Amino acid sequence: MFSTKEEKNRQLFESISERYDLVNSLISFFLHNSWRKDLIKTLKPKKGTRVIDLCCGTGELTLSMAQEISPGGEVYGLDFSEKMLEKAKIKQIKSHVDNVTFLCGNVRDLPFEDESFHYATICFGLRNVSNYADALKEVRRVLKPGGILACLETSRPSIPVFKELYYLYMRYAVPYLGGLLTGNAAGYLWLQESTWAFPDYKALMAIFKEAGFENIFTKPYLGGVTAMHLVTKPQKKATIPLFSGKGDEVACKKRKDNEQAENR
């Protein structure tokens, strides 16, 4: 079910799950929750809708989304780390949020029918997925036409001096702190390496476009340390059947006219 890279990644999150939230708060100077809140504020999900939160981890965004779309809406939180999900389920019980289902699975192979969701969210997860082009294809499949994918991801600042200082912070301070609190410094060093290896937020816009999304909106935070993207799955174009029996010629002409207009 998992590739070697995915299995290594999964084990990393299994090993840091206990203090994942605490380390996240410290290394982001307690900003990570305000970024998640801003994502929800910008997305403005409608009440009564269906949402999938991918790479949901300990469920921070999943539970907030569930409250936002109540009453009537439902949220699925999916992650491949059982231990991260255990943490999420404890939070769910404590917060009495009942419109969430947490499930273990791989983003590259979602256990849902085509066009099942109005919204998909992925928060600090896309960078972790070994083949993100496959993952985006899968997300596009389960979104309804017009559905929105909201992504929050670490990025690289472009401001001179700040960029270098941030690199040093990620390269030395973050693995030190992560190692101290979780015993897995290598895992946090990988956080830095994966951030530097991942496309920055401007390049990510092109990747969403290539994956077939449109209306790409991006918002960098703190000089580009993190960025939000909101992207839309295109609406289906009205198709005119080529051979509809009655009135075939008219239908054919309309279809040809449409194609010509599109090719222009």
Ligand X SMILES: C[S@@+](CC[C@H](N)C(=O)[O-])C[C@H]1O[C@@H](n2cnc3c(N)ncnc32)[C@H](O)[C@@H]1O
Q: List phi, psi (to 5°) of 47.
A: -65, 150
What DSSP string runs through 107-124?
Answer: TTS-SS-TT-EEEEEEES
Chain residues 126-185 in contact with ligand X, contact rule CB under 6 A: 128-129
Chain residues 198-227 in contact with ligand X, contact rule CB under 6 A: none
Chain residues 37-56 in contact with ligand X, contact rule CB under 6 A: 55-56
The DSSP element (H or E) to which 104 belongs, if any, is strand 100-104
Q: Which stretch binds ligand X (CB under 6 A): 103-111, 177-185, 219-227, 255-263?
A: 103-111
**Of 198, 240, 207, 196, which Cα lies nearest the Cα of 133?**
207
Nearer to ligand X, 69 or 191 (CB): 191
Query: Which tokens belong to 246?
Result: 């009655």
Q: Are strands 214-221 and 226-232 parallel, antiparallel or unpaired?
A: antiparallel
What residue is closest to ligand X based on CB? 57
Query: Which tokens belong to 88?
Result: 């999420």
- Spatial neighbors of 224 by CB under 8 A, at least 6 apart, are 155, 156, 157, 158, 159, 200, 201
125 near ligand X (CB under 6 A): yes
Nearer to ligand X, 27 or 205 (CB): 27
Cα 105 off chain centre by: 14
Q: What does the DSSP 8-state code read for residue 171?
A: I
Q: Which stretch binds ligand X (CB under 6 A): 117-125, 168-176, 177-185, 244-252?
A: 117-125
Single residue of 61, 75, 174, 228 touching ligand X by CB under 6 A: 61
69 near ligand X (CB under 6 A): no
Chain residues 72-101 in contact with ligand X, contact rule CB under 6 A: 79-81, 84
Residue 58 Cβ, how far from ligand X at the closest point, in Å? 6
Nearer to ligand X, 122 or 205 (CB): 122
Residue 143 Cβ, how far from ligand X at the closest point, in Å? 17
- Spatial neighbors of 51 by CB under 8 A, at least 6 apart, are 45, 65, 66, 69, 73, 74, 75, 76, 117, 118, 119, 120, 121
57 near ligand X (CB under 6 A): yes
Nearer to ligand X, 79 or 200 (CB): 79
Chain residues 1-30 in contact with ligand X, contact rule CB under 6 A: 6, 9-10, 13
One-letter amino acid of 9: N
Binding site for ligand X (CB under 6 A): 6, 9-10, 13, 55-57, 60-61, 79-81, 84, 106-108, 123-125, 128-129
